[in-house]
Structure 1
Amino acid sequence: MVSATPLVVLGEVRTCLLPSAAALTRAEAGELLALMPGRAVRWRERPGTLGVSPVTAVGVDCDLPLGDRSARIVGTVATNASLTGGRVLQSSAHTRILRAQERRRQTWSHYISRKGVAEVITRIPERETAGNGFAEGYLAGPPRAEHLDLASISERLLTRVRADPQLDQNPPVQAGTTRLRWAARIGGSAGPAASLHMDDDTVRSVRLILRDESDIAAAQRFCEDLAAHDWLLTVLADALDEADRFPLHTRERMDILAPALEHLAGLWMPGAHTPPALRALWKEFQNEPGFNKQWTTLVGRLRDNIAVATLYMLRHNVAVSEW
């Protein structure tokens, strides 16, 4: 038997633009995300489309950093892919870290029957110390070769989906991939709470406190929703920076800005796909770092740049073909 309440839940979300010239329809998205034969793809139509693949499991037998040492874990990592608005592709990997009742490795049948659960089979401190230690160890930086590597697991799934033959590999916007790593602990009355840290240009870390174990699935979806909107902010900011390399009224500049406005502006719906239990967390992110304010500013700059270039074209009788 294993304690039902996890010490910590660790996850990773990778977000990118689907490599397709057109947004996928529901039928096309269902075909893309059908990772397991006979398992249905979950679908939401309102307020914006969201397709979620069946959950698959990846076996792990590795170490997890814990302060100045490591603990051995054995179990599985749950993975899935999702598509938002027919455009934003994500791969997600997470696992619940539980203390094993017996400090010895079981047969694989013991672990594979539970997707997304890994047991610690070495001696560790009490719950609070171990949970905090695992969370901080995981979020501290790149894992060593012997450590749990959710980044590689998530990247393999993303690469698999992006290489699907039905995708034409011709996205309308040039955009990179971002990573969001997250760690969630059960805090009872202390939750729900979340903090976001921008580690670098493409990597973010989120620390979550949940009220109880039933909120774990909602935490994963919240992190995926947060990752998608952080990616949108990153892509628009990068597009504006790239466009600034060219003169104001050039075709090169408009070839960057116009597709970003056309294909991405309508995808901004923070909290729309976050379960009600954790939707209130978005209020904090609206205040700090001010997601909506930043998005409104970026979209305003895009529209202003396009409007100025259009006015220039009209005043100087520049043909569209010359632009």
Structure 2
Amino acid sequence: MSGASPASGEPLVVIGEVRTALLMNLRPLPPQAVVTLLDFVPGERVMARERPVRRAVSADVLHGVDCPLTTGSGARVRGIGTLLTRAGVLDGRVVQGSTRAVLATGGERRLPWGHYLERPGVVELSGRGAPADVAHRFLTGRDPADLDPGAVSEALLGRIRSAPSLDRRTPLRARRTRLRWASVLAGDGFRGEFSLVDQELRTLRLGFAATTAATPGQLATLCEDIALHDWLLSTVTPVVDRACSGHDSVRATGELRTVVDQLLHLWLPNVGGPSRLDAVWAHLEAHPGFSRQWGTCVQRVRDHLALRALDLRAGAAGGL
């Protein structure tokens, strides 16, 4: 994150939501077209990389907020400040909208907007509410009227979907996912909890030692990586299930081909992230076991294709 942090002595509390979806285009978008798609901040350039897989990320967009928030005890506080939101596209195929904010203690009265603009990505809390308490409620029972970073992420994805460079067709059925996350840098050691709430919503609670030198931007990048890999599992698994069951075989075979051609190579967890955050991926690999589930899924694809090849050989031999 470019911008400010909480006042000295406060724990760093960051919340956010990542929405991940298949890019609405029949074929993967070429690299230059992706850069053009994400170039919506005047004067700021799109950050793009080629290795280990192509990824482009837009510059941050500032979004002002002045809205209620709820603490873990149910008390209402007011949040005033700005959110930072950005979009990313992986290999021209998967798109993400990601919004984040640092929660910080503020004063009892509202200040001129210039004060909040000087602290991009910081939402100040007025009233009796500790940032960590608000972050806990954000994950466990957010009121519909509360601060909603996910709605900001969705609005950015909507802007991308309306781009004239997209044909708005997709090669497979893919549900979008939402990862709502909160991170607190306070205390000792690491704590992490990843939960599947329903078919779309996931929550991620992170706690790091106060000495962990992670920026809000690095925490957001980590959560975007986790959201991507959760989306891959959530998207590829039902495609493999349909193909292996033989249900709607023509369509299922076409979707499986898309998965093999366009998605399997995107599985690269924790590549390029700061080593100080490695504990998060170590935790996810132990429970719920992201890579074990992915490895099982990929092996089912290989076994299915091997059986299909045997069936074709048997059919050809029988026709001789």
| TM above 0.5 | yes
**SS of alignment partner, residue 77 of structure 2:** strand
Q: 2:198 aligns with which of 185, 197, 200?
A: 200
CA RMSD of aligned residues (A): 2.2
Structure 2 residue corresponding to 1:81, chosen from 64, 83, 87: 87
The alignment partner of 1:161 has SS state of helix
Change (3 A) 1:213 1:148: farther
* Alpha-carbon shift at residue 94 of structure 1 (Å): 0.8
SS at match of 1:190: coil
Is the 8 Å Cα contact of residues 11 and 183 (structure 1) preserved in structure 2? Answer: yes
Structure 2: stretches of 5+ with no match in the other structure: none
Tell me how far 1:206 sits from its aligned partner. 0.7
Q: Answer whether contact 1:74 1:119 (CA < 8 A) is retained.
A: yes
Structure 2 contact 11–186 (Cα < 8 Å) conserved: no
Separation in structure 2 between the aligned mates of residue 298 and residue 214 of structure 1, nearest angstrom: 33
Q: Distance in 2 between matches of 1:290 and 1:39?
A: 38
Partner residue in 2 for 1:225: 225
C-alpha displacement at 1:271, in angstroms? 0.4
**CA distance change for structure 1 residues 131 and 75 in 2, over 3 Å: closer, same or farther?**
closer
Q: Secondary structure at the match of 1:176?
A: coil
Q: Please give the secondary structure, in 2, of the residue aligned with 1:294.
A: helix
What stretches of structure 1 of length at least 5 have no aligned partner?
125-129, 319-323
Matches within 5 A, 1:262-277: 262-277=261-276
Q: Distance in 2 between matches of 1:247 and 1:95?
A: 44
Deviation of 1:253 after TM superposition, in Å, equals: 2.9
Q: Is the 8 A contact 1:215 1:277 kept in 2?
A: no
Worse-matched range after superposition: 204-213 or 91-100: 204-213
The Cα shift of 1:259 comes to 1.5
Match for 2:38 among 33, 36, 54?
33
What amino acid is aligned across from residue 82 of structure 2 in structure 1? T
Partner of 1:256, secondary structure, is: helix
Q: Deviations over 1:5-53 (max 9, x none)?
A: 4562110000011112232333221111112122111122221122110
Q: Does 1:291 align with 2:276?
A: no
- Partners of 1:137 and 1:274 in 2: how far apart? 28
Q: Which residue in 2 is equivalent to 1:301?
A: 300
Farther-moved stretch of structure 1 (224-233 vs 258-267): 258-267
Distance verdict in 2 for CA 1:79–1:171, change over 3 Å: same
Q: 3-state DSSP class of the match of 1:189?
A: coil
Mapped pair 1:3 → 2:7: yes
* Secondary structure of 2:168 counterpart: coil
Alignment pair present for 1:96 and 2:94: no
Q: Residue 110 of structure 1: CA displacement?
A: 1.6
Percentage of identical aligned residues: 35
- Work out whether 1:140 is the aligned partner of 2:140: yes
Query: How far did residue 213 of structure 1 move?
Result: 6.2
State the number of aligned residues: 309
Partner Cα separation in structure 2 for residue 34 and residue 279 of structure 1: 31
**In the TM superposition, what whole-angstrom CA distance separates every residue of 1:182-232 from its partner, at most 9, and x where no partner exists?**
0111125334x4321111122111111234464322111110000000000
What does residue range 114-133 of structure 1 map to in structure 2 within 5 Å? 114-124=119-129, 130-133=130-133
Deviations 1:224-281 (A, max 9, x none): 0000000000001121333356459x32331232211221101000001423321342
Partner of residue 127, structure 1: none
TM-score (norm 2): 0.89
Q: In structure 1, what is the Cα distance between the partners aligned to 2:233 and 2:169?
A: 21
Distance 1:24 1:247 in 2: 30
Q: Work out whether residues 246 and 252 of structure 1, in 8 Å CA contact, stay in contact via their aligned partners in 2.
A: no
Report the CA distance between 1:172 and its aligned residue.
Answer: 2.4
